[in-house]
A = this chain, B = another copy of it.
């Protein structure tokens, strides 16, 4: 039995600016919160960040042709990339005035960025960077492939967010990023500017990648080493609220200059419990963690308010990033995420399920992707795309099986009639894994960071076999059985 995907199914990979672009001289963007954050000596000494530096990264800014060649040779027909806000706008855009409407609750319900404003933005922008991005994207488009452009993949310009100052003096005495509602307006300007300049090269738009990770890791999950490392539930909620508005305003701004679908890429995980009596509680968590943000921009539903029309209907497609699951249980009478499952496994060891954990300590759990796609599809009537899926596996011992078993879940979802448009692996090459630096390697392609040379891992050949014919051929169908990897 082979497993065939639709003819127009997209096979590709995703990349982001901060993690991929830098590496060769002239590619640095030292104007972002993340740049400052990972270079901060206190952060490094405290172990909040790895000490690895993004300027020693893959060098995609210069080597994009080579990576596109490899992607093409592996049968890929789609890429999701991004533009770095701080690269385009190293200096503030505050002074470009635009028309902003607020409701009685001070919500930002409209931002207009007309062409004159865009012309003013061009004077602030680094137009060389704009030009170079166009070369990168065009190189891919000229191959007749699909290109998806995402606007925000985590770094904020330093003029908008100074994470070290926030950590030291509090958000009220520092540029505070998403805690400052001016971020909503500035993001709308940025979105309009990008839509205006790049729409001809773009097939699908996304406003943001994993906003939930930003407001979760930045303000709550302290130890993960995300800026600003400012522990505050209140701040997390405020950031989330502003990001929701920012998405909606960016949606409108893109649409002002584009007719392409505009979506959102979200960090999903399968969330479950083995304990029946906890199911309701866990369902509440799921609604909160997985669906509250999307509910807002899909249906205008937000907590404690009436329907917001300014948010509603701002979602043409959903990008699903999936890596593993969370399993909840009870310990000492408290609901808790269980050790030994999902993201709480020993790095490079084995999970309680017997399945191996990745170098990151993440359980390999493809079933979760299948269940999740069904759940999302039943909730939102828009096309889906798997926009990230992959494994930190330096020696490639599990990646082939990880890949095929997850693709098999996607296959089954499509076969059952779900509108899933494609699968973008994270990622083509090794890259800079945020606070973890270079040690977590997610590439089908191994990078020697000293020479910037690319080497194919065995799993790259497996990807190719599948992508080039858009099917999991029978001779690879044994790799759908992830339990073959389980501890004996």
Q: Which A residues contact B (CB, under 8 angstroms)?
A: 41-43, 45-48, 51, 167-170, 173, 220-223, 229-233, 334, 348, 394-398, 400-401, 446, 448, 453-456, 458-459, 461-462, 465, 474-479, 484-485, 488
**A484–B395 CB distance below 8 A:** yes
**B42–A232 CB distance below 8 A:** yes
**B220–A395 CB distance below 8 A:** no
Q: Which of A42, A233, A448 has the most CB of B within 10 A?
A: A42
**B448–A220 CB distance below 8 A:** no
CB pairs A–B below 8 angstroms (13 shown): A42-B232, A45-B220, A46-B220, A46-B223, A168-B170, A168-B230, A168-B231, A168-B232, A170-B170, A397-B397, A446-B478, A455-B479, A461-B462
Query: In the complex, which residues of chain B have a beta carbon less than 8 angstroms from the beta carbon of A459?
Result: 458
Q: Knowing A455-B477, A455-B478, A461-B461 touch, does A47 contact B168 (C-beta < 8 A)?
A: no
**Distance, CA A341 to CA B477, complexed state (A):** 33
Chain B nearest Cβ from A65, distance in angstroms? 16
Given A348-B488, A455-B478, A455-B479, 9 more A-B residue pairs with CB atoms under 8 Å apart are A41-B233, A42-B232, A46-B220, A46-B222, A46-B231, A51-B334, A168-B230, A168-B232, A455-B477
Query: In the complex, which residues of chain B have a beta carbon less than 8 angstroms from the beta carbon of A479?
Result: 455
Q: A231 touches which one: B48, B474, B476, B485 (CB < 8 A)? A: B48
Q: Which residue of B lies closest to A170 (CB)?
A: B169
**Distance, CA A288 to CA B435, complexed state (A):** 28
Q: Which residue of B lies closest to A438 (CB)?
A: B332
**B455–A47 CB distance below 8 A:** no
**Distance, CA A398 to CA B397, complexed state (A):** 7
Q: Knowing A394-B484, A398-B397 touch, does A223 contact B223 (C-beta < 8 A)?
A: yes
Q: A462 touches which one: B231, B453, B458 (CB < 8 A)? A: B458
Chain B nearest Cβ from A71, distance in angstroms? 14
**Distance, CA A458 to CA B479, complexed state (A):** 9
Q: Which residue of B lies closest to A235 (CB)?
A: B168
Q: A454 touches which one: B229, B334, B462, B475 (CB < 8 A)? A: B475
**A458–B456 CB distance below 8 A:** no
**Distance, CA A397 to CA B229, complexed state (A):** 38
**A47–B395 CB distance below 8 A:** no
Chain B nearest Cβ from A468, distance in angstroms? 12
Query: In the complex, which residues of chain B have a beta carbon less than 8 angstroms from the beta carbon of A168?
Result: 170, 230-232
**A465–B454 CB distance below 8 A:** no
**A46–B397 CB distance below 8 A:** no
**Distance, CA A448 to CA B484, complexed state (A):** 12
Query: In the complex, which residues of chain B have a beta carbon less than 8 angstroms from the beta carbon of A400?
Result: 396, 458
**Distance, CA A220 to CA B41, complexed state (A):** 11
Query: In the complex, which residues of chain B have a beta carbon less than 8 angstroms from the beta carbon of A220?
Result: 42, 45-46
**B397–A48 CB distance below 8 A:** no
Q: Which residue of B lies closest to A396 (CB)?
A: B400
**Distance, CA A47 to CA B170, complexed state (A):** 21
Q: A455 touches which one: B221, B398, B475 (CB < 8 A)? A: B475
**A221–B476 CB distance below 8 A:** no
Chain B nearest Cβ from A136, distance in angstroms? 22
Query: In the complex, which residues of chain B have a beta carbon less than 8 angstroms from the beta carbon of A348?
Result: 488
Query: In the complex, which residues of chain B have a beta carbon less than 8 angstroms from the beta carbon of A173?
Result: 170
Q: A478 touches which one: B223, B448, B465, B484 (CB < 8 A)? A: B448
**B231–A42 CB distance below 8 A:** yes
Query: In the complex, which residues of chain B have a beta carbon less than 8 angstroms from the beta carbon of A488?
Result: 348
